[in-house]
Structure 1
Amino acid sequence: MLVELVKVAKFPWSPWLAQIRTPFGGTAVRWCGDRATKPGKYHVEWTVDEDIAWGRNAKPAVGVGPGVRPGGHCVVLRGRLSLTVDGAAMLDFDGNQILLDLADPLPEGVASTWVELFIEREKIALYPYEL
């Protein structure tokens, strides 16, 4: 996914964070690239390092379409949820797939719906790559 990197910063209580913007929102998340990266547009892969538990950190979305925004101590990702054949889940995030680990099986009828994930900003990572 192409994002606009605004800045990379480190605070005493957090890992390196990237302030990013997308066409559908912006937020700050853990940055796993060069800490001296200059502002600009970068292709990134998103990862979520937190188990997804329906009703706790995953809920039906308010609205449709991809979205990313700050949510207090969390980052809120909105995308379409799907299940893999081996019991994991994927979040389609503007055409990019984010693999998710499930704490418990999802309720009936949740697959293929728009959901919002509420994930601690340190547990979402961006890995920049070059095409």
Structure 2
Amino acid sequence: MLVELEKVAKFPWSPWLAQIRTPFGRTAVRWCGEQDAEPGEYHVEWTVDEDIVWGWNAKPAADSGPGVRPGGHCVVLRGRLNATEDGAAVLDLDGSLILLDLGDPLPEDVANTWVELFIEREKISLYPCEL
């Protein structure tokens, strides 16, 4: 996914965080690239290091369409969610696929619906990549 990196900063209680902007929202997430990265456009891969549990950190979205926004201590991602054959799940965030581990199986009626994930800011990461 192409994002605009606005700045990278570190606070004493957190990992390196990037303030990013996408066509559908902006937020701050853990940055796994160069700490002195210049502002600009970067292709990134998203990773989530938290198990997804329906009803706890995954809920039906009130709106359709992709989204990313801050949610207090969390990052809120809105996309289409699907289970995989091996018991994991994939969130389609505007064509960027994010592999997710599930704490419990998803309800059957969730397949390909718009959902919001509420992920602790330190447990969602961006890795710059070359295309």
CA distance in 2, matches of 1:108, 1:88: 14
What is the TM-score when the length of structure 1 is the normalising length?
Answer: 0.99
Q: Give yes or no for contact 2:83–2:106 (8 Å, CA) kept in 1.
A: no
Offset at residue 84 of structure 1 (A): 0.8
CA distance in 2, matches of 1:39, 1:130: 16
CA distance in 2, matches of 1:130, 1:101: 25
Q: Deviations over 1:14-69 (max 9, x none)?
A: 00000000000000000000001000000000000000000000000010010000
What RMSD over aligned residues (CA atoms) do the two structures have, in Å? 0.5
1:4 aligns with 2:4: yes
SS in 2 for 1:64: coil
Give the corresponding residue for 1:72.
72
Give the corresponding residue for 2:63.
63
Give the corresponding residue for 2:112.
112
1:43 aligns with 2:65: no
Runs of 4+ displaced beyond 3 Å: none
What is the TM-score when the length of structure 2 is the normalising length?
Answer: 0.99
Q: Deviations over 1:57-98 (max 9, x none)?
A: 000001001000000100000000011111110000000100
1:99 aligns with 2:105: no
CA distance in 2, matches of 1:14, 1:126: 15
1:34 aligns with 2:23: no
SS in 1 for 2:106: coil
SS in 2 for 1:109: helix
Note the residue ranges of structure 2 that are not aligned, 5 or more in a row.
none
